[in-house]
Amino acid sequence: MSTHTPAGRAPKVDLDTAQAAALAYHCEPGTLKDRIILVTGAGEGIGRAMALALAAAGATVILLGRTQDKLEKLYDEIIAAGYPTPAMVPVNLEVATPANFEELAGMFDREFGRLDGILHNASILGDITPLDNYGYSTWDSVMQVNLNAAFYLTRAMLPLLRSSTDASVLFTSSSVGRKGRAFWGAYAVSKFATEGLVQVLSDELENTTAIRVNSINPGATRTRMRALAYPGEEAMSVTAPEALAPAYLYLLGPASRGVTGLALNAQA
Ligand SMILES: NC(=O)c1ccc[n+]([C@@H]2O[C@H](COP(=O)([O-])OP(=O)(O)OC[C@H]3O[C@@H](n4cnc5c(N)ncnc54)[C@H](OP(=O)(O)O)[C@@H]3O)[C@@H](O)[C@H]2O)c1
């Protein structure tokens, strides 16, 4: 059996080791310098907080989101903080086609020549209701945004990820994507499928590339989506998105080399 590890790849890290390292991670300034990282759903919530944290750690972030003025506000904030100049791509993932993602890949190729990471963060909740009432069009929208668009985007970006010497693709899951729960409908099913996508893709890439692929469950986090799902909850009792940065920076940065095919949590 060969003990050769191809250039850019590291020996595989087990789940417990990776999980402990993710939660304890402290990212020194400049750790992500010169990395080009695409964040979907960057306009608000966890995506916005993680885009800022990535930029603060030195990454050039590509801010993808549905609402242009939210992206512009974040862009200005990143510039004002003196972080690397980001890029902005307003895209509605519910209607974007594979051809649109190929066009985006061409644009990134001309601008950057590679991609060092993708944080697949954008999602919609759909309805919290029994399956026998679940709206067909809501089901389709949730699957399109949470799953299909993430696949289209990843497939289109693979050549750019292959041009990186150390790339990380991080998909966002949920507790209900790891254990099904009544009434969570398409959202839960889309997150189970996301975990499947992580397993298939990481297995395909593990022995041939320097691209690692993992999922992260943010856990209960104070955002618009959380408030929609739990309207009676006292918002301030829930973790702020900024607190998730250690695990996300670990998984998107150089510290997680060798971590692939794993389902991790951003909170203990
Ligand atoms: N918050 C939690 O407690 C929690 C728990 C488990 C998992 N998660 C997961 O964590 C991720 C982030 O959630 P969040 O709580 O931060 O949600 P959020 O506050 O609702 O933010 C979601 C982001 O996704 C974007 N988005 C939604 N539909 C889009 C579309 N069609 N095209 C492009 N962008 C779109 C939104 O854009 P606009 O701002 O333009 O609407 C927004 O910026 C999601 O994958 C979610 O499933 C969250």
Ligand 1 within 6 A of 128 CB?
A: no
Cα–Cα nearest to 38, from 137, 185, 150, 194: 150
Atom 25 of ligand 1 has which residue's CA nearest to it?
Answer: 41
pTM for the structure as a whole? 0.97
Confidence (pLDDT) at 11: 86
Domain ranges of the chain: 15-265
Q: Rounded mean pLDDT of the chain?
A: 96
Confidence (pLDDT) at 112: 98
| Rounded distance between C-alpha atoms, residue 200 and residue 216, angstroms | 16
36-56 mean pLDDT: 98
Kindly indicate the confidence band of residue 3, based on its pLDDT and cuts at 50, 70 and 90.
very low
Ligand 1 within 6 A of 144 CB?
A: no
Q: Separation of 7 CA from ligand 1 center, angstroms?
A: 35
Atom 36 of ligand 1 has which residue's CA nearest to it?
Answer: 41
Annotation marks residue 25 as catalytic: no
Confidence (pLDDT) at 146: 98
Kindly indicate the confidence band of residue 209, based on its pLDDT and cuts at 50, 70 and 90.
confident
Kindly indicate the confidence band of residue 8, based on its pLDDT and cuts at 50, 70 and 90.
low
- Given a cut of 80, whether residue 6 has pLDDT beyond it is no
Which of 83, 187, 248, 250 is labelled catalytic?
187
97-120 mean pLDDT: 98
Contacts (Cβ under 8 Å, ≥6 apart) of 48: 42, 70, 74, 241
79-96 per-position pLDDT tens digit: 999 999 999 999 999 999
- Given a cut of 70, whether residue 1 has pLDDT beyond it is no
Q: Which of 120, 121, 181 maximizes ligand 1 atoms within 8 Å of its Cβ, making it the mutation to test the pocket?
A: 121
Q: Which of 38, 39, 40, 44 maximizes ligand 1 atoms within 8 Å of its Cβ, making it the mutation to test the pocket?
A: 44
Which CATH code fits 15-265?
A: 3.40.50.720
Q: Separation of 119 CA from ligand 1 center, angstroms?
A: 12
Kindly indicate the confidence band of residue 116, based on its pLDDT and cuts at 50, 70 and 90.
very high
CA distances from 161 to 24, 38, 164 (A): 27, 11, 5
* Structure-token pair, residue 86: 């980001």
User: What's the distance, Cα to Cα, between the start and end of the chain in Å?
Assistant: 37
212-249 per-position pLDDT tens digit: 999 999 999 999 999 999 999 999 999 999 999 999 99
